[in-house]
Structure 1
Amino acid sequence: MLKTILLSGYKSHELGIWDQKHPGISVIKYALEQRLRALIEEGLEWVIIGGQPGVELWGAEVILLLKEEYPALKLGVLMPFLEQEKNWKEERQDHYNQIMNQADFADAVSKKPYSGPWQFRARDEFSLDHTDALLLIYDEEREGSPKFLKAAADKRAETAEYPVFMVTMYDLQAAAEELEEKERPNW
């Protein structure tokens, strides 16, 4: 049974999403909600994110909404380093801080500000060590930053049971069509 999963995926800029009003965000959140609901029904208790803008923070929004229906569900944020939001635009910092204020747990793997890419690798390894599976929005045909986490999870899966649940661009297209169908007025 999967009690704790790591949730990650593309950063917002990798998807060409520059503000919180982009219509693609609702599609991503809908796809994540469907996957998370199924996992919650199977016993999921914790969802861990790294707090990066994009899929991780949108996923956190979904988790916070699902907590209303599933109060036992918990959100954890494992940042790679302290003050990761320091150089972000104000709107992005506000969004991040709203999520952080509602998280059930938050801590930084490296207890100092950014000093190198090793901090991201350390966060990934620590997160993989403390979760049962990975839920990743990623499509191998459209490379981006999630490829590093996927590679680490795939390597882990070679020697231990560590499922990697993927949400691909095809899954997002299907979610968009389903969402559109749900929102279409009945004639």
Structure 2
Amino acid sequence: MAKVAAISGYKSFELGILKKNHPAIPYIKKAIRNSLQGMLEEGLEWVLISGQLGTELWAAEVVFELRETEYPELKLAVITPYLEQEAAWSETNKEWYESILMEADFVDSVSHRPYEKPWQLRMKNQFHIEKSDILLLFYDSEKEGSPKYLYEIAKHYQENNEYEIRTIQFYDLQVLAEEEQWNYDHFS
């Protein structure tokens, strides 16, 4: 029974998503929602993210939507790799990030210093895996990117610990889009 799910995946720029109204975002969020609903039925209590732009902030929005509708007890923790990770972001992205932090149930950083070296990111990945029961990762081995590092740490951790890894792949998004198109064609 998973009590804490770490969620991560591609950053928005890795997917070529530069605007908040990109047509792929609803499918990504629906895939996250579908996965979370299954976990909630299994006893999920907390979602853990690091606050990265893209998958993680979309996941936070899904958590908030689920809290408003069916699962008011669901909680969100944002534990960043280091302080001021948003320092170089655009104003729009900073505002989005700040709005997520304001609604989160718990906010902290693994390293209580600004960015210094890549070890802070490795420490964050290790921390998120060790503090969760399951990893939901938007990652497809056909398109490597930053999620690869978290995936590798999770696989290594899984060798000696009971730990579940679930992935959302591009095929899953394609299926969701095709289902929606089929429903649109047949019911409109």
Assess same fold via TM > 0.5: yes
Which residue number in structure 2 is paired with residue 54 of structure 1? 54
Which residue number in structure 1 is paired with residue 38 of structure 2? 38
Deviation at 1:175, TM superposition (A): 1.6
Are positions 1:117 and 2:118 aligned together? yes
Q: Match of 2:72, SS?
A: coil
Calculate the TM-score normalised by the size of structure 2.
0.96
Q: Match of 1:81, SS?
A: coil
* Alpha-carbon distance between aligned partners in 2 of 1:104 and 1:185, rounded to the nearest angstrom: 42
* Alpha-carbon distance between aligned partners in 2 of 1:47 and 1:11, rounded to the nearest angstrom: 18
Which residue number in structure 2 is paired with residue 22 of structure 1? 22
Calculate the TM-score normalised by the size of structure 1.
0.97
Q: Structure 1 residues 132, 125: CA separation in 2 closer, same or farther (over 3 Å shift)?
A: same
* Unaligned segments of structure 2, at least 5 residues: none
- Point out 4+ residue stretches in structure 1 off by more than 4 angstroms: 182-185
* Alpha-carbon distance between aligned partners in 1 of 2:54 and 2:143, rounded to the nearest angstrom: 16
Deviation at 1:177, TM superposition (A): 1.8
What are the residue-to-residue correspondences of 1:6-155 with 2, within 5 Å?
Answer: 6-68=6-68, 69-155=70-156
* Alpha-carbon distance between aligned partners in 1 of 2:2 and 2:185, rounded to the nearest angstrom: 35
1:17-53, CA deviations, whole angstroms, 9 ceiling, x for partnerless residues? 0010101001100111011011101110000001000
Which residue number in structure 1 is paired with residue 2 of structure 2? 2
Deviation at 1:182, TM superposition (A): 4.4
1:49-102, CA deviations, whole angstroms, 9 ceiling, x for partnerless residues? 010000000010000100112011000101000000011001111110110000
**Alignment root-mean-square deviation, CA:** 1.1
Deviation at 1:186, TM superposition (A): 2.1
Identity value in percent: 48
Q: Structure 1 residues 33, 179: CA separation in 2 closer, same or farther (over 3 Å shift)?
A: farther
* Alpha-carbon distance between aligned partners in 2 of 1:82 and 1:54, rounded to the nearest angstrom: 19
Q: Structure 1 residues 70, 153: CA separation in 2 closer, same or farther (over 3 Å shift)?
A: same
One-letter identity of the residue aligned with 2:64: L
